Amino acid sequence: MAVRTLIRMLSAFCAAFLMLGGSPALGQPAPGSTPGVDDMAGSVVSRLVAWRARTDQPVALGSLTAFEWDSFSVERVPAGVAMANCGRDGFVPCDKGLQPAPDGLVQVLRFDRAGQAVYQERIIVGSASFAEPLPAAVPRGRATLVTCADGTGRRLWCVQSGPRPALPGLDGA
């Protein structure tokens, strides 16, 4: 039950945070993108977390986005400072256990269109992390994610290899 509560809190936090304009600490349109066109109502990471909470079925990443993109990648970047808005009413608590270490690394989900970044978002929720090797420039048509496990049994996201099955009702084109 505590996990579901945390997932709900994170989803609400991400959606509210983006509606307030976002920041480099979480999801935001990439620099140079057009507000209102490239924005989305909720974060892609929160949608990945929600999908995993409901099912272990594959998901076409295009069905979880509300903006146009050609390919996606996941990169590692320094965690840096903690989230600036934690501790405020309705936001995630500032508990050190919920924040990545400043000298640690976090994954960043990045979407590109015509060679330019259109959206990027830090992944600080374990259930939205990607397995090694991290995806690089995966075309939208091949961006179907499946659950895979690391050596410790932790559930991670991987790009589905091989022929893609038909996923009814999901946009993967």
The sheet that has 155-159: what strands, in order across it? 59-60, 144-149, 155-159
Q: Give the least confident one: 17-21, 25-29, 123-127.
A: 17-21
Average pLDDT over residues 105-128: 92
The pLDDT confidence band at residue 17, using thresholds 50, 70 and 90, is very low
Indicate the pTM of the whole model.
0.65
The stretch 66-77 carries a mean pLDDT of 95
Nearest to 111 by CA among 48, 17, 154: 48
DSSP string covering 47-101: HHHHHHHH--S-EEGGGG-SS--SEEEEEEEE--SPPTTTTSTTS----GGGS--
Two tokens, residue 82? 């903690």
pLDDT tens digits, one per residue of 136-170:
999 999 999 999 988 888 999 999 986 544 444 44
Domain layout of the chain by residue ranges: 2-159
